[in-house]
Amino acid sequence: MNHPRRLDERARMTVRLTLLCAAARTERDVRFADAPLDERALHRVRALAGAFPRAATHCTAPSRRCTETARTLGWEPVTPQPALRDLDMGSWYGRTLDEVAAADAAGLAGWLADPQAVPHGGESVAQLCDRVAAWLDALPSDAGRVLAVVEQAVARAAVLHALGAPPQAFWRIDVPPLSTVELTGRAGRWNLRMAELPLSPRPPR
């Protein structure tokens, strides 16, 4: 039988979660795809080494760019989390936004306007938001501080869940590469917390 005092202590436990958006290649044409980081992106990641507080748990999305970001930061051991994977872009995978617009303008417009739309046959924005929300709410109350390298789409979904915002607001959230999202969770509720200092360095000139 659980003691009432112990239950009360667990309810007061706070999960401190930092989501770091993965570094990105510095190429001009951005594709719906995963790719290894180039040297300029790795240089920006190395500049962040030591900028994060100590954590009990280090996680990463399973993509190459996320795992390379985590390893370059020296986060060891780091645990891949399938629930933090990027949005499944289906038949659009590997294409640029301009290529998709040229081939399926109506589908692209519908996808950007409707979180339930799946013109590419992959995963909808609403499905992504549900997946990320489930991962957040499954974190144990005694997890302490958790650091995770995630995709931009996952960071957007996490902010929506913390604020209780509808998936229609997904595209209203800008998440640049190597930016951070600070969340605190307690008793089943998440709060968005502004970072005290910017963690991401300015790109080299």
**What is the pLDDT at residue 188?**
83
pLDDT mean over 10-32:
84
Distance CA 11, CA 55 (A): 21
Residue 131 within a domain: yes
- State yes or no: pLDDT of 150 exceeds 50: yes
**79 in a domain, yes or no?**
yes
Average per-residue pLDDT for the chain: 90
- Give per-residue pLDDT as tens, 38-84: 999 999 999 999 899 999 999 999 999 999 999 999 998 999 999 99
Task: Answer yes or no: is 117 within a domain.
Answer: no
What does the pLDDT read at residue 12? Answer: 56
pLDDT of residue 205 exceeding 80 = no
Tell me: the pLDDT tens digits for 95-133?
999 999 999 999 999 999 999 999 999 999 999 999 999
**Domain assignment of residue 61, yes or no:** yes
Confidence of residue 196 (pLDDT cuts 50, 70, 90): low
Domain limits for position 150: 15-88+124-193
- My answer on whether omega of the bond before 77 falls inside 30° of 0, hence cis, is yes
pTM of the shown model: 0.88
Confidence (pLDDT) at 1:
43
- Whether 185 is in a domain gets the answer yes
Q: Specify the DSSP element, H or E, that contains 101.
A: helix 97-103
Count of domains forming the chain: 1
The answer to whether residue 78 is domain-embedded is yes
pLDDT of 187: 84
Specify the 3-state DSSP secondary structure of 184. strand
Tell whether 204 is covered by a domain.
no
For the chain, how are helix, strand and coil distributed in percent, rounded to 5? 40, 15, 45
CATH number at residue 72: 3.40.50.1240
Q: What is the pLDDT, as a whole number, of residue 30? A: 80
- Residue 158 domain-assigned? yes
